[in-house]
Amino acid sequence: MTGQQESTDHRPAFWGLINPEWSLCNKGRRQSPVNLDPEKLLYDPNLTELHVDRQRVDGMICNTGHSVMFYLENGTKNHINITGGPLSYKYQVYEIHIHYGQQDEMGSEHSINGYSFPAELQIFSFNSQLFANYSDAVQRSHGIVVLSLLLQVQ
């Protein structure tokens, strides 16, 4: 997690300085996996709804044995963009991963209160307003966003 350079859009300039429990946000880079503690989450009433475009796209599916990956086709005219919520820029979806465990348990990379989920869907996207592609964006501030959805099996 990195802080915003500006706080003009009601977001902090440096997350790690706001709360001592978030000091890791000022150190290191791209911390993962994350264990979310609901007791430490803060509600931000200024956030708008997160929007994900609904587009039909072409791509390739690959099963690695511990995850299923969907790679969007390069050069396609249709893009899936993610905007709103805490995002200051438009992010274009690049690839999607589905992590899963054996026997429908503990497949997620991330957890809530130490509880791992049977599966996790991760949507990788890059800042298409500042960068031409994922490779240019991946090592840069505000370059990529990964949305994770923790999945239950019924």
- Catalytic residue status for 51: no
- DSSP-assigned beta bridge partners for residue 93: 125
Considering 10, 51, 66, 99, which one is annotated as catalytic?
A: 66
Interior angle at CA 131, CA 126 and CA 133, nearest 5: 60
Q: What is the DSSP letter of 65?
A: S
Query: Taking a C-beta distance cutoff of 8 angstroms, is the pair 125, 94 a contact?
Result: yes
Place of tokens 């609901």: 38
Place of tokens 């690695």: 64
| CA–centroid distance for 9 within its chain | 20
Could you tell me the end-to-end alpha-carbon distance of the chain, in angstroms, rounded to an integer?
Answer: 32
Q: Catalytic residues, which ones?
A: 66
